[in-house]
Amino acid sequence: MKEFEQAQRDDENLSKIMDWLQTDPEDDTPWPDVPTEYTKLKTEFTLNRDGVLFIFPPFKSDVYLEDVDNSAGLKIVVPKSLQDKCLALYGHGGGDVTYERLRCSFFWVNCRQDTVKYVAKCERCQRCKPIQRKTKGLLQPISAQIGRFERIGLDLMGPKPMTTNRNKFILVIVDYATGWVEVVPLRNAKILTLVPHIMRFFQTYGVPRYIVSDNGKQFVSDIYNALCENAGIIPNRTSPYHPQTNYTERINRNIKIMLQIFTSEHKHWDRVIGNINFALRTSPSATTGITPAMATFLKELRPFWDNRRCLRRPFRPRTTT
């Protein structure tokens, strides 16, 4: 937060807003030297206890923040000097997805346009992401119109370069209804290695009715079949000629891209698995428009800096006429 405060102080426009908030925030006289984009939002700015500039998002209901320290929904006003750093933090999931994630925590004028341009020009994104082509076929994907965690997909990725922790494979578990993802690094791809992680998923989110997988030897083994039978799970296996039926195929593509983008050292790829899980869970779905976290818990996951959003002055609800 100190970096934000200093960068805001060094910003020609934001520093004037901060000075106004610290001297006489009740003064309604126009700002002479601040761009119109900021003057239109004059009553929306506030400072937290650390002196960092935030902005209130537009409210869509009559529910207001009553607790002075309850500043959920505030967005950090990003100075020009830190915009590229914020974009680099979020900017590898496509223009719209990146913007939706950014706007939950950050604000600056023309954020959407800057985000789209950044993603379009990102060298690593262009190098790693495949060209998307819509293909036609007779087979149709399995419908996801069921309850949360009733149908999940399983898939394995690898072998990958062995890490210093001796991991070589990745287990991907995804819920069809919410898009919630569990990405787990593995030392080997044996079914006995997979089972504890699958069971842990069941213990956390409940036992599904269906599991979709490919025809890999792990998923046609006697141990896997016994697991499904004992739990009353119906196994669905994809056609070898139509693996897209498994929802995890798309997730795997995103994971491969993220591994290439987030890690330059192959021997440490398992260290960013937690970041990949968080990114996938907080990225809005192009279909539903909401994140897997929201679909699962009916709330967004709080980012690391969110607890720093404490107001310095009481929030006065805006009156509507």
Q: Which of 124-138, 179-193, 196-210, 212-226 has the lowest mean pLDDT?
A: 124-138
* 284 in a structural domain: yes
pLDDT at position 212 over 80 = yes
pLDDT at position 17 over 60 = yes
* 197 in a structural domain: yes
Angle at which helices 83-90 and 111-121 pack, to 10 degrees? 60
Same domain, 161 and 291: yes
Same domain, 101 and 208: no
What region does 51 belong to: left with phi over 0, alpha with psi -120 to 50, or beta? left
Same domain, 157 and 36: no
Segment 300-305 shows an average pLDDT of 79
Same domain, 177 and 42: no
184 versus 93: the higher-pLDDT residue is 184
* 142 in a structural domain: no
Same domain, 63 and 188: no
* 260 in a structural domain: yes
203 versus 244: the higher-pLDDT residue is 203
Same domain, 3 and 89: yes
243 versus 110: the higher-pLDDT residue is 110
* 87 in a structural domain: yes
pLDDT at position 63 over 50 = no
CA angle 272, 278, 281 (to 5 degrees): 140
Both tokens assigned to 264: 């330059």
Please name every residue paired with 186 in a beta bridge, in sequence order, or none if there are none. 169
What is d(CA 73, CA 54) in angstroms, rounded to the nearest whole number?
10
Tell me, what's the pLDDT at 179? 92
User: Can you list the alpha helix ranges (DSSP code H) found in 206-268?
Assistant: 222-231, 248-262
Please name every residue paired with 172 in a beta bridge, in sequence order, or none if there are none. 155, 183
What is d(CA 221, CA 259) in angstroms, rounded to the nearest whole number?
29
* 80 in a structural domain: yes
Per the listing, tokens 């030392």 go with 187
Tell me, what's the pLDDT at 66? 34
Both tokens assigned to 265: 């050292």
* 320 in a structural domain: no
Q: Residues of the chain with pLDDT > 90: what percent?
A: 36
- CATH number (domain holding residue 16): 1.10.340.70
- At residue 92, what is the residue type? H
Q: Look at the pTM and tell me if it is higher than 0.85.
A: no
Whether the bond into 159 is cis, omega within 30 of 0? yes
Same domain, 122 and 170: no
CB 153, CB 212: distance < 8 Å: yes
Segment 297-312 shows an average pLDDT of 72
Q: What is the pLDDT of residues 289-299, one digit of tens each?
A: 899 999 999 99
Both tokens assigned to 39: 């003057």
DSSP strand pairing (106-107 vs 75-77): parallel
CA 147 to chain centre: 22
Classify residue 310 by burial, with Cβ atoms within 10 Å: 0-12, 13-18, 19+. Answer: middle
What is d(CA 207, CA 110) in angstroms, rounded to the nearest whole number?
45
**What total number of domains does the chain contain?**
2
Same domain, 93 and 206: no
pLDDT at position 307 over 70 = no
Q: Which of 27-36, 67-76, 199-208, 246-255 has the lowest mean pLDDT?
A: 67-76
Same domain, 223 and 261: yes
Look over the chain and give the mean of its residue pLDDT values, rounded to a whole number.
80
Same domain, 172 and 208: yes
Same domain, 7 and 85: yes
Residue 129 per-residue DSSP state: S
Domain stop point among 83, 111, 127: 127
DSSP strand pairing (45-47 vs 234-237): unpaired
* 141 in a structural domain: no
- CATH number (domain holding residue 231): 3.30.420.10
Domain stop point among 127, 161, 191: 127
25 versus 70: the higher-pLDDT residue is 25
What is d(CA 171, CA 219) in angstroms, rounded to the nearest whole number?
12
Burial code of 269-295, b = ≥16 C-beta within 10 A, e = fewer? bbbbbeebbebbbbbbeeeeeebbbbb
Tell me, what's the pLDDT at 88? 78
Report the helix count and the strand count for the chain, using DSSP H and E: 12, 9
Both tokens assigned to 283: 């990225």
Q: What is the pLDDT of residues 102-114, one digit of tens each?
A: 887 889 988 988 8
76 versus 91: the higher-pLDDT residue is 76
Same domain, 99 and 29: yes
Contacts of 88 (CB under 8 A, 6+ apart): none
Both tokens assigned to 102: 């950014």
Domain that holds residue 6: 1-127
Torsion sign over Cα 291, 297, 303, 306: positive
Please name every residue paired with 106 in a beta bridge, in sequence order, or none if there are none. 76
Tell me, what's the pLDDT at 198? 98
What is d(CA 277, CA 180) in angstroms, rounded to the nearest whole number?
9
Tell me, what's the pLDDT at 265? 58
